[in-house]
Amino acid sequence: MEGSLFFWHTNSDSLADFKIGLNLAQASDATSLMVLACNQNDYPTQDLNILLKTCLLPIFGGIYPMISHQDTLMKQGALIIGFQETYNISTFSNLHQLKDEDALENYINSQLEEKLNFHSDNFLMFFDGLMNNVEDFIDCLFECLDHGITIAGGGAGHVDFVQRPCIFTNQGLRSNVVLLVTLPSKLTTSVAHGWKIFQGPFLASEVEEQTVLSLNYEPAFDLYSQAIESTSNYKFTEGNFFDIAKRYPLGIEDINSNLIIREIIVSQYGYLQCAGKIPINSMIYLLEGDIDSLIETTEQTAIDLFSKTTAESAQISMIFDCIGRVLYMEDDFARELHVINKHRTSSALFGVLSIGEIANSKSGAIRLLNKTTVISTW
Amino acid sequence: MNKALFIISLQHELAMAIGNKLDLKAMLKVFLKVCFNRLNLTSTHIYIHCDENNIPTKLTPLETNNYQHLLSIPKKKQGKSWVENSALSHFTAQLINAQENISKQCENGRYFFGFIIPDHGLLIFETHYAIDIEVQKALLPILQKLSTSCYTSLVHDSLVKEVYSRQLVEEKVAFQAQHDGLTGLVNRQHLNVLLAEAIEEAHFNKKFGCVVFIDLNRFKPINDSMGHTVGDQILLILANRLQSLSGENIDVARFGGDEFVLLIRNLNHNYQEVVTEIISDINQLLAIPFVIKANSYKLSCSIGYVFFPLQSSTVNNIIKFADIAMYEAKRNKSRLGKQYHSSMSDKIKKRLAYVEDMKQGLKNGDFKLFYQPQYNHSGDIIGAEALLRWQHPIHGIESPAVYIPIAEESDLILNIGQWVLEQACADIHKIEQLSLPNTFKNISINVSAKQLIQHDFQDKVMQAIKANNILAEHLGLELTENLLVENIEDSIKLIASFKANAITSSIDDFGTGYSSLTYLKRIPARVLKIDRSFVANIEQSNESVAIASMIISLGKTLHMNVLAEGVETIDEFNCLKMLGCYQYQGYYFNRPLPFEEFIQLFN
């Protein structure tokens, strides 16, 4: 137990152990439960669904590639956090079926209206990270919700990028779902990535949603591979694309020279497939990073964030850190967790390694981020 | 260099975002979203110039500015519409006033940037940073392009509206072609189309269908006495009630007048049960009184139905059979509905053949008038009732109880009625040549409903009188009580008009109808005829005595003579006389006599 929270974690990958934790949580003073689990766990879906459906308390959370507790990275196991306050959950289901903006907008409005007296400015968002229209959803959500909300979130899913049910709800484990969780206290967030411009700018001359077809009117992969191969020792061969690409993400520059990172997942037919949309005609940079500078940026961000809060004003801290950063930093990722944990003022710190992160931009809009760390505290 | 590239790429992207949609609001929303994302805006808004009806329109020189808020991203601020936001409203007013691009730093560190969309509107950005002047300048050609696109959208919108209104008109025309004007139900023509489809479907799906034919009972008297407005209201209420039965497999149509049809599709082998249940529903819908202008009307209906493709697979036959079944239900006064049976058609065929026989009989002179004399209590002859007899060449003497209702169903009753009128007048002429007793009043003929509603019935009567050169007072008309009730207002006028021409009228079969005394008082008839059912064995029946007494006293009150029909015995005669009835007709005196025998009575 940490503070007034119920806190339980296990490194076991068995559902039987998870069940013990869930029973303890239900027997505690908690009124809402956040459940975070690793995708390596051996949880038979049917049995897990029975546990979720029979759970007496509202549940939210998801199955993530990895999770973290304080400065420990957990590749298997689970965390259950019980809150004494009621965390209101709005569930947005079957989003893959909503093909256009109007349908999304109508659906979001109807779901929000269902919650009587729905008014909050502070949200956590748990979503299926492999859902194909998550950016359309957050655009519409921002338009519908209100001006001036604060939000943090991360995409759940499996690290093999095959879509499976991954969001915990009281109706069972679900896919193509977004959970919007209202927080009872003020949420403060801070965003860090640490990636630096390596080459560019390039004009995203042909783009289809998340796929960059051409940069500066040249096939995207040709330009990307030439830029890397000509200035490094890396050579792209069949089968090593992601090993190199995880070191060189793309950056979209906004009008204030901020970079939004886009991880390149695969290359096919000379195109680059990213983990988020790239606006056509936008300015794209090739980015590089070194582990030290990435961690330094994270540390600075943690210092900035925790200097604004106290143990009283924010008891809980949660990290939404990109799985891509773990894949890039490998064992050094423990240092990133360590620097965050070192500066925390809250009693609890935990997090997820996510497929896509959610945070507000400086303008207030909600953005989908890649290869980024979002530290939140409330 | 990077900045220049950024501005070019920004311009390019914003320009590409213009005109992607034709609808004005949708087009501007796409543009606004790109602005929002690419320019890192906190909020963004569009106001559009509108005409006096607040319809977006192009701003023309010398026109007063009327900008209306159209769009904002995000939609609200702190739960309230942006229209209510004083900072934005204030800045918008400044922009309208300036009519050029302006900017302002707010107290919270945010900025407003306002741009004019030439001839069309205002574009406002709220930012957390100051937008570079180069970027602002780069927006100017974009705004010009946006203006052109706004104009295109407005033209498109007006075209869409025009097409839509045309579509509405076309839909209305199509609807009117397929639906009844009064009730909005499917009309007869469209029912035929639907039925043809349903037959095909039934064959294809190996299912059954049913046509249920509904006809209101005694609707005409209401329509005639209360006026068509009330009648129409009743039909409308009924249509709405029947419409409640409609669904995926049931269409409700108005076939015409007070006839409605239910077309039922997709029935399984329990078709009979389903239809029986629907008929019960129809009767329940009718059981609720029809309340119009504080008056309550109770109606019932006759229902006939036929199953397809079991009983027929052609549209015309199915409708015809359901209609035949409905008539059969009406004849039998059945409330449960009648399923069509081929024997009904045989009956109809026989009827048609019978009607043909009657026509032939009229031509061949097989019809004769017999006269049943009428007497006063002193035994003086006061007149006679002309009764029709038909000597069928094969069947012999046919009963009027059989052929009159059949003749009434067709227009043949008019031919027969006309023949009766003319023959009676001709016979009266012959009688007038005899020495008639002072007590003799007239020879009366029976008038049918169809004759009575003929607009020229009176002319025809007067013409027959004139043609035979007889005294009008020697002709009397007998109208049944039920006939009068069905068309009371017109009947009153007609009887009064005959009376003015010295032709007297009798109310026949009195006591069997449902006359309202109020109406009876207004009917200028001379004679009330007590129905034979109250006369038969009257001396043995207190009930008949009571009714006869009531009719007799009513006659006295209304200054009408009372004549008893069907007097067959001396006891009946004595009883009636004792009750105060002094005019009689019946076998006790004479049975109906051939004309030649009848005139012997005057010798």
Tens-place pLDDT, residues A298-325: 999 999 999 988 877 788 999 999 999 9
Output the pLDDT for position A377: 95
Give the count of domains, chain A.
2
State whether B79 and A281 contact (CB < 8 Å).
no
Picking from A122, A139, A277, A283 by the largest number of B CB atoms within 10 A of its own CB, the best residue to mutate is A283
Chain A residue with minimum CA distance to B77: A147
Count Cβ atoms below 10 Å from residue B254 Cβ, excluding itself. Answer: 25
The minimal CB distance from B42 to the residues A139, A255, A364 is found for A364
State whether B40 and A362 contact (CB < 8 Å).
yes
Output the pLDDT for position A198: 92
Distance between CA atoms of residues B72 and B48, nearest Å: 12
* Least Cα separation, residue A192 to chain B (angstroms): 18
Chain A residue with minimum CA distance to B135: A255
Q: What is the pLDDT of residues B283-323, one digit of tens each?
A: 999 999 999 888 888 899 999 999 999 999 999 999 999 99
Output the pLDDT for position B515: 55
Instruction: Give chain B positions within 8 Å (CB) of A255.
Output: 6, 10, 38-40, 131, 135
CA B379 to chain centre: 54
Domain boundaries, chain B: 2-160, 188-340, 352-600
Answer yes or no: do A310 and A281 share one domain.
Answer: no
Answer yes or no: do A56 and A159 share one domain.
Answer: yes
Output the pLDDT for position A2: 45
Output the pLDDT for position A116: 44
- Beta partners for A7? A81
Identify the architecture of domain B188-340 in CATH: 2-Layer Sandwich (3.30)
Q: What is the pLDDT of residues B424-454, one digit of tens each?
A: 999 999 999 998 899 999 999 999 888 888 8
Torsion of CA B450, B456, B457, B460, to 10 degrees: -130
Q: Which of A245, A266, A287 is the last residue of a domain?
A: A287
State whether A280 and B129 contact (CB < 8 Å).
no
Q: What is the pLDDT of residues B198-238, one digit of tens each?
A: 999 999 999 999 999 999 998 887 887 788 888 999 999 99
Q: What three-state secondary structure class fits B590?
A: coil
Q: Is B20 on the interface with A (CB under 8 A)?
A: no
The minimal CB distance from B129 to the residues A148, A256, A281 is found for A256
Answer yes or no: do A28 and A103 share one domain.
Answer: yes
Output the pLDDT for position B416: 93
Q: What is the mean pLDDT of chain A?
A: 91
Chain A residue with minimum CA distance to B38: A254
Q: Which of A239, A260, A287 is the last residue of a domain?
A: A287
- Whether B166 contacts B40, CB under 8 Å: no
Answer yes or no: do A270 and A304 share one domain.
Answer: no
- Beta partners for B116? B122
State whether A282 and B9 contact (CB < 8 Å).
yes
The minimal CB distance from A146 to the residues B74, B131, B135 is found for B74
Task: Please say if the pLDDT value at position A65 is more than 70.
Answer: yes
Output the pLDDT for position A3: 43
Per the document, the length of chain B is 603
Output the pLDDT for position B79: 78
Identify the architecture of domain B2-160 in CATH: 2-Layer Sandwich (3.30)
What kind and span of H or E run contains B153? helix B133-178
Picking from B5, B9, B80 by the largest number of A CB atoms within 10 A of its own CB, the best residue to mutate is B9
Picking from B40, B113, B139 by the largest number of A CB atoms within 10 A of its own CB, the best residue to mutate is B40
* Least Cα separation, residue B73 to chain A (angstroms): 6
Q: Which of A260, A287, A314 is the last residue of a domain?
A: A287
Count Cβ atoms below 10 Å from residue B239 Cβ, excluding itself. Answer: 18
* Least Cα separation, residue A254 to chain B (angstroms): 6
Which of residues 69 through 98 in chain B touch A, CB cutoff 8 A? 73-79
Domain assignment present for residue A1? The answer is no
Distance between CA atoms of residues A366 and B603, nearest Å: 120
Listing from the earlier edge strand, what are the strands of the sheet with A66-69?
A: A72-74, A66-69, A348-354, A316-322, A373-377, A188-192
Output the pLDDT for position A52: 96
Answer yes or no: do A182 and A117 share one domain.
Answer: yes
What is the arithmetic mean of pLDDT over A46-56? 95
Instruction: Give chain B positions within 8 Å (CB) of A144.
Output: 74-75
Residues 6+ apart with CB under 8 A from B518: none
- Beta partners for B338? B304
Helix segments in B339-411, DSSP class H: 342-364, 400-409
Q: What is the pLDDT of residues B112-135, one digit of tens each?
A: 999 999 999 999 999 999 999 989
**Cβ burial, residue B274 (10 Å; 0-12/13-18/19+):** middle
Does the B352-600 domain belong in CATH 3.40.50.720? Answer: no
Count of pairs with CB atoms under 8 A, one residue in A, one in B: 75
Domain assignment present for residue A242? The answer is yes
Mean pLDDT per 10-residue segment, chain B (603 residues)? 77 85 89 91 94 87 84 87 92 93 90 94 94 90 92 87 89 89 92 95 94 92 80 93 93 94 94 94 92 86 95 94 93 88 87 88 92 94 94 85 83 92 96 92 91 89 96 93 75 92 90 64 88 92 89 88 95 95 95 94 85
Instruction: Give chain A positions within 8 Å (CB) of B36.
Output: 365
Answer yes or no: do A262 and A312 share one domain.
Answer: no
Share of chain B above pLDDT 70, in %: 98
* Least Cα separation, residue A146 to chain B (angstroms): 5
Domain assignment present for residue A256? The answer is yes
Chain B residue with minimum CA distance to A256: B40
Phi, psi of B519 (to 5 degrees): -70, -45
A interface residues, B as partner, C-beta within 8 Å: 119, 139, 142-148, 201, 203, 253-256, 258, 279-283, 361-365
State whether A148 and B78 contact (CB < 8 Å).
yes
Answer yes or no: do A302 and A339 share one domain.
Answer: yes
The yes/no answer to whether this complex scores an ipTM above 0.90 is: no
Task: Please say if the pLDDT value at position A1 is more than 50.
Answer: no
Distance between CA atoms of residues A81 and A59, nearest Å: 10
Chain A residue with minimum CA distance to B35: A255
Q: What three-state secondary structure class fits A227?
A: helix
Task: Please say if the pLDDT value at position A115 is more than 70.
Answer: no
The minimal CB distance from A144 to the residues B10, B12, B75 is found for B75
Chain B residue with minimum CA distance to A255: B39
Answer yes or no: do A130 and A250 share one domain.
Answer: no
Answer yes or no: do A265 and A331 share one domain.
Answer: no
Range of the domain at A218: 196-287
Residues 6+ apart with CB under 8 A from B302: B214, B215, B217, B326, B327, B329, B330, B334, B337
* Residue B155 structure tokens: 């033209």
Exposure class string for B559-571: b at 16+ Cβ within 10 A, else e:
ebbbbbbbbbbee
